[in-house]
Structure 1
Amino acid sequence: MTEILQTPKLVVVFGGSGFVGRHVVRALAKRGYRIRVACRRPDLAGHVQPLGNVGQIQPVQANVRVRWSVDRAVQGADHVVNLVAILNETGRQKFGSVHEFGARAVAEAARAVGAGLTHVSALGADLNSKSDYARTKALGEKAVFETIPDAVIFRPSINFGPEDGFFNRFANMARYSPVLPLIGGGQTKFQPVYVGDVAEAIARSVDGNVKGGQIYELGGPQVLTFKECMEEMLAVIERRRLLVPVPWWVANLQASILQLLPSPLLTKDQVLQLREHNVVSEAAAKANRTIAALGIQPQAIATILPSYLWRFRAAGQFQQRRPIADR
């Protein structure tokens, strides 16, 4: 009797060409899904295609601010993943249009084709936040649940891994600057989570192994202050730098100038975000809505950072590691 082969499910990943997206695409490809990567510039998304088999991954043009492009991108989808976010506003890319309007557009498009939805938000999302980023992230979550009540929402802390925008940025700064700034004294707490673990959580939601209608907070095994994050990074790249506390008012003044640049190092909205700790809440831990509750053992930064920050050492990969006491 001839065996009938079923066509693998189609997953549409909005923002799949970005830092988190490429890890999500890889995790889904390893499971055998067909993947459609929806992004603004598919001509610049060729790097995602080698993450799967020939023809398994297809970049398509879509912009969450343009509703018809979203509807077109999800046609035939079995599941939709929305990773689209911005850290600062530029041109037409505004927090409201991307985080709120875009989240609702993706959710409504997914509902129209009967697809499941996984939405990635961020720790710190709060309807009452003074930060536009955090407030619009919360509005996006609200829009998602209003549209698809059984959607899965993830709130990760700072993602770290190859090409991350946090440790890489400060490690690169340490190559040229004798000092590194500690905004607000560097006491803001983070719970950095490995991007590969976040991608695995998202893939498991696509598999149907994560209960819908819930918000899951994803953090790593360690809670570190901003200062401790810088110390961990400097230990890996084996450089000594002076860590200088920057008062909030000074940081706000600097941000008001820096945010005028095309790619600002700091904005006033980011200063507002840094006033709040970025860690998994006690409520999420008690309700078993964490990464550990999904059956994932999160990796520590000490095991991952050396694998990609070595290039910031004075002699790169050829530099001999010095004893810890000598650093």
Structure 2
Amino acid sequence: MAIGRTRDLDGMVIALLGGTGFFGTHLAQELLDRGARLRIASRHPEKAFRVKPLAELGQVQVVAVDVTRPHTVEVALTGVDAVVNLVGAFAGDLDAVQGSGAGRIAAIARTSGARIFVHISAIGADPQSPVGYARSKADGETAVLAAFPDAVVIRPSILFGMDDTFLNMFAGLMAMPVLPVFAPDARLQPLDIDDAAQAIGNVLAAPAVHAGKTYEIAGPEVLTMLELNRRIARATERSPLLIGLPDGVGALIAAMPLTPISRDQYALLRQGNVASGAFAGITELGVRARPLDLFLERWLVTYRKHGRFGARTRKAV
């Protein structure tokens, strides 16, 4: 348990739907540190066993659930005080998973007696979007609030962390002599995963304050894709030639099979991922978001030419 951490969730039973992913694992650690008892529900429950060593005896329960099969959700949510819905997808039946399906989960939570429902959506959710992901995320928000009016909707920006697939993917590419950058002018506002987890914990600790509200949580700095790649290159002590791809070229590549980015992902990237300012932000949830540069050199040292053994040494003062 974190030293000095207030156990303001002591004894609360919280279900994390989709709790075995990147966000879910970090959120689980945050909530366990604050005294919560967790029920981690996932299609892949075996992935949750890495969380168990972080908990006290009996503090974590793992259950199998498929959100497209309502009876499994009913079992998973029986007897819980709060639900955090982290379920999402970029492909497949998006409506069943994160559109009307999210509303169905919220309805089951309310019927099951949960007092708190936190729904994780995404910055850029838009019912008019031509991209299925963004459109279904917006539909999910509407469905959740219709079923559970006091639900709290959280729209996070791109989340980063030491074990993410975002920074690590780019860092792994920095050894290339020439690196094309998709949508180089796209604006991003990346948020530290543990800051996001703390924000969710604060919502759960004070549900009456946040009931029925929507928050956009994002990092303290807006970067373009090109600048992000430059910073990762510096942190890894690599110097690839970064070439920003024109929109037409990027779109053409994204439309081809077996490419590193899909057409929808490219469309989302082009529109950027920054807080709109139309909703309260992470500061209103009691969190001071930390900048990316605070972590980059420390996290990405393994991607340097000689790994950790190639790290610079500082002369004693």
C-alpha spacing 1:292/1:38, structure 2 compared with 1 (3 Å): same
State the shift of 1:165 in Å.
Answer: 1.9
Can you give the 5+ residue segments of structure 2 that lack an aligned partner in the other structure? 1-9
Q: For the residues of structure 2 that align with 1:310 and 1:64, how far apart are their CA atoms?
A: 39
Task: Tell me the residue number matched to 1:20.
Answer: 23
Instruction: Describe the superposition over 1:101-149 as per-residue Cα deviations: whole angstroms up to 9, x where unpaired.
Output: 3312220111111211001111000111111111111011011111111
Task: Tell me the residue number matched to 1:318.
Answer: 309
State the shift of 1:97 in Å.
Answer: 2.0
Written as runs of structure 1 = structure 2, the 5 A alignment for 1:40-59 is 40-59=43-62
Written as runs of structure 1 = structure 2, the 5 A alignment for 1:125-204 is 125-175=125-175, 177-184=176-183, 186-204=184-202
SS of residue paired to 2:301: helix
Q: For the residues of structure 1 that align with 2:268 and 2:187, how far apart are their CA atoms?
A: 11
Task: Tell me the residue number matched to 1:3.
Answer: none
Amino acid at match of 1:313: R
CA RMSD of aligned residues (A): 1.8
Instruction: Describe the superposition over 1:196-227 as per-residue Cα deviations: whole angstroms up to 9, x where unpaired.
Output: 01001111111125411111001111111111
Amino acid at match of 2:285: L
Q: For the residues of structure 2 that align with 1:44 and 1:295, how far apart are their CA atoms?
A: 30
Instruction: Report if aligned partners of 2:23, 2:197 keep a CA contact under 8 Å in 1.
Output: yes
State the shift of 1:275 in Å.
Answer: 2.2
Pair 1:78 & 2:72 matched = no
Task: Tell me the residue number matched to 1:235.
Answer: 234
Could you tell me which of 292, 297, 305 is aligned with 1:306? 297
Task: Tell me the residue number matched to 1:293.
Answer: 284
Instruction: Report if aligned partners of 1:11, 1:33 keep a CA contact under 8 Å in 2.
Output: yes
Q: For the residues of structure 2 that align with 1:103 and 1:178, how far apart are their CA atoms?
A: 44
Task: Tell me the residue number matched to 2:210.
Answer: 211
Q: For the residues of structure 2 that align with 1:134 and 1:179, how far apart are their CA atoms?
A: 32
Pair 1:272 & 2:267 matched = yes
Q: For the residues of structure 2 that align with 1:167 and 1:279, how far apart are their CA atoms?
A: 17
Q: For the residues of structure 1 that align with 2:109 and 2:134, how far apart are their CA atoms?
A: 24
Q: For the residues of structure 1 that align with 2:104 and 2:312, how far apart are their CA atoms?
A: 50
Deviant stretches of 4+, over 4 Å: none
Instruction: Report if aligned partners of 1:65, 1:101 keep a CA contact under 8 Å in 2.
Output: no
Q: For the residues of structure 1 that align with 2:311 and 2:210, how far apart are their CA atoms?
A: 47
State the shift of 1:295 in Å.
Answer: 1.6
Identity over aligned pairs, percent:
39
Q: For the residues of structure 1 that align with 2:47 and 2:283, how far apart are their CA atoms?
A: 35
Amino acid at match of 1:79: A
C-alpha spacing 1:68/1:168, structure 2 compared with 1 (3 Å): same
Q: For the residues of structure 1 that align with 2:313 and 2:131, how far apart are their CA atoms?
A: 42
Q: TM-score under structure 2 normalisation?
A: 0.91
SS of residue paired to 1:275: helix
SS of residue paired to 2:278: helix
State the shift of 1:322 in Å.
Answer: 8.4
Amino acid at match of 2:177: P
Instruction: Describe the superposition over 1:5-48 as per-residue Cα deviations: whole angstroms up to 9, x where unpaired.
Output: xx812100011111010111011101111100000011232111
Give the stretch that moved more between structures: 76-85 or 59-68. Answer: 59-68
Could you tell me which of 278, 283, 307 is aligned with 1:283? 278
Amino acid at match of 1:310: V
Q: For the residues of structure 2 that align with 1:21 and 1:202, how far apart are their CA atoms?
A: 11
Instruction: Describe the superposition over 1:20-78 as per-residue Cα deviations: whole angstroms up to 9, x where unpaired.
Output: 10111011101111100000011232111112112211111001121111111000010
Pair 1:66 & 2:57 matched = no
